[in-house]
Structure 1
Amino acid sequence: MNHAFEFQFSSSRHVPTLKVLSASISDFRYDRHAHTEYAFGVTLAGRQDFFSAGAYHRNPPGNVIFFNPEQPHDGESGGDHRLDYVMTYIAPGAMAPLFAEAAGNERADRLSSPQTLIHDPVLRDAILALSRLVREGVGSLIDQEHLLQQIATRMVQRAGHYQPVIPTETRPDRLLMRACDYIRAHLDQELSLARISEAATLSRYHFLRLFRAQFGMTPHQYVISCRIDAARGALESGATPGEVALRYGFADHSHFNRRFKRIHGITPFQYQQSLAH
């Protein structure tokens, strides 16, 4: 590869919401953002440097990166060598029955792991095998389902035996979730700090302080991330980039292109074309 960065997205022909990103970068940095999906990645070459879960991480080749849904992160190539990696993304609803089956408890259908960097050859190999099937468009539905079940089982095993717990959500957590719910429900409308903090029943000062401490990003960064995430879904459904830019409040097509590329590495049109193959 001769370019400073290259990104290729692939969509599973068998499993809805399952996508794979193959990336090679040496001079690119992702804006801080979050996905609604689970994300499982493997560093293939170079070093992957990123901030997430309140800490900076350096991931060498062979290790697994795991992001919970809505877990903010950024990323770039570390050191002097080119970074090559793959990431698989899949919606929580698709993983829910797999987690429950692996745990032997129907209430264990959500998994939230505190581990972002994982050294686990079994998990790594399952992720790599799944990403290859999706990228190359080979294998059947049951092949991909089998590997997803392996990934779910390994994550549950690492989490330990499932035990029901009493939620420890605090009042600030609940108020910030109100703000996040408000943002996602009004992505196609004018948003302001005053309206968002009012939805959380917090003063603007306390809202800004708590939000940054909780999510590691500003409300503005979160709004952009949510809009790009919603735009990605609209693009996958066939909407044109121009329609999507207008729908989600971007100033113009160029502004939408720049914001999308800083989170996904390619333009909205290139993203659509990538998934069409």
Structure 2
Amino acid sequence: MARQSSRFDYYKSRQIPELTVLQASLNDFSYDRHAHEEYAFGVTLSGRQDFFSGGEFHRSPPGNVIQFNPEQVHDGHPGDGSTLGYVMIYVPSAQLEASFADAAGCERAARFHGSETLLADPELRRAILDLAQWIIQRQGTRIDQEHALHRMATRLVQRAGKFQPSGRVSRPDTLLLRAKEYILAHLEANLSLDEISQAAHLSKYHFLRLFRQQFGITPHQYVLSCRINAARGDLETGVAPSVVAFRYGFTDLSHFNRRFKRIYGKTPYQYQRSVI
């Protein structure tokens, strides 16, 4: 019997519209390397989930939790020849800041970033799956869903131990942050490497070397990822895919479709229909 093709189902929370759940079944699909603006919390349900992130290759068997910080670069694909099933919840930083700070007893922990990408943690897994099921099945009150988020944030801080404020930001970090801010402020413009490296006060050579070293992708890949993330937001508000494609500099709708599908598994039109 032939295996079914890969499937991607997206759900928006009716209680907390900023939350998105992906329920996926992968056979013949591999994600391009990319990053999201939100936190992403996933649980591998079946098969094995293989991915590269943070300079390491990871293998996630059923039951494991995957956690990506905002803008953490990663890819992903089935790893053992069987169908990969998993759920992933995308959570904007603002939805977790108060919980992180409360769990750590430190207001500066609001921007907490986990150091673990692959976790075997039944308590965290249960909270993620509870929230995912409430959203998929359109159940639970807003406070139910907020409590699941709080459980997730608290467990992550507990695993990290005592919160330690980050040290002084290095000069390369500051310069690259300027570049990222410039990119995000000019997503609809015809960006060039010269403009971005100048915004960072770096030569093009040093900018390219530092950027890839710091973020694991090229500036071109980062710009593309940011444009796809912004396009996703526009699609969720009902903007036509053809308008979105033009807005963010894609050659045509076909080009936009290909790029979007390599990150979200669906064409822009299919994604829009699933969340509106």
With the length of structure 2 as denominator, give the TM-score of the two structures.
Answer: 0.97
Counterpart-to-counterpart distance in 2, 1:95 and 1:250: 33
Distance in 2 separating the partners of 1:201 and 1:144? 44
- Unaligned stretches of 5+ residues in structure 2: none
Which residue does 2:175 correspond to in 1? 175
Q: Which residue in the other structure is 1:88 paired with? A: 89
- 1:202-241 matched pairs, under 5 angstroms: 202-241=202-241
1:44-96 superposed Cα distances (whole Å, 9 cap, x missing partner): 00011111011111111100000000100000010111100000011001110
Give the aligned length.
275
8 Å CA contact 2:27–2:83 kept in 1: the answer is: yes
Structure 2: which amino acid aligns with 1:18? L
Following superposition, the deviation at residue 166 of structure 1 comes to 5.5
* SS class of match (1:107): helix
Q: How far 1:2 sits from its partner (Å)?
A: 5.0
Q: Residue 42 of structure 1 aligns with which residue?
A: 43
Corresponding residue SS for 2:111: coil
For 1:254, the equivalent position in structure 2 comes to: 254
| Secondary structure in structure 1 of the residue aligned to 2:88 | strand
Give the C-alpha shift of residue 4 in structure 1.
2.2
What SS does structure 2 have at the residue aligned with 1:109?
helix
Q: For 1:111-142, what per-residue CA distance to the aligned partner results, in whole angstroms no more than 9, with x for missing partners?
A: 11111001100000110111000011111111
Q: Which runs of 5+ in 1 are unaligned?
A: none
Residue 117 and residue 19 in structure 1: after superposition, are their counterparts in 2 closer, same or farther (change >3 A)?
same
Equivalences for 1:57-136 in 2 at 5 Å? 57-136=58-137
Q: Which moved more, 1:81-90 or 1:101-110?
A: 101-110
2:168 and 2:75 map into 1 onto residues whose CA distance is 28
For the structure 1 residues 258 and 14, does the alpha-carbon distance in structure 2 shift closer, same or farther, using more than 3 Å as the test?
same
The code of the aligned residue for 1:69 comes to P
Question: CA separation in 2, counterparts of 1:62 and 1:169?
Answer: 36
CA distance in 2 between counterparts of 1:156 and 1:230 reads: 29
Partners of 1:9 and 1:201 in 2: CA distance: 40
TM-fit CA distance, 1:110: 1.4
Tell whether the 8 Å contact from 2:7 to 2:26 is kept in structure 1 after alignment. yes
CA-atom RMSD in angstroms: 1.2
Q: CA deviation at 1:16?
A: 3.1
Which AA in structure 1 matches 2:99? Answer: L
**Aligned counterparts of 1:80 and 1:70: Cα–Cα separation in 2:** 29
How many Å separate the matches in 1 of 2:166 and 2:122?
Answer: 33
Which amino acid letter does the alignment assign opposite residue 209 of structure 1? R
Measure the CA separation in 2 of the matches of 1:238 and 1:198. 36
1:260 shift after superposition: 0.3
Cα displacement string for residues 136-160 of structure 1 (whole angstroms, at most 9, x for unaligned residues): 1111111111111111110111111
* In structure 2, distance between residues paired with 1:178 and 1:209: 16
Q: Which residue of 1 aligns with 2:158?
A: 157
2 CA distance for matches of 1:114 and 1:154? 13
Alignment-derived partner of residue 274 in structure 1: 274
- Alpha-carbon distance in structure 1 between the residues aligned to 2:17 and 2:103: 21
Taking structure 1 as the reference length, the TM-score comes to 0.97
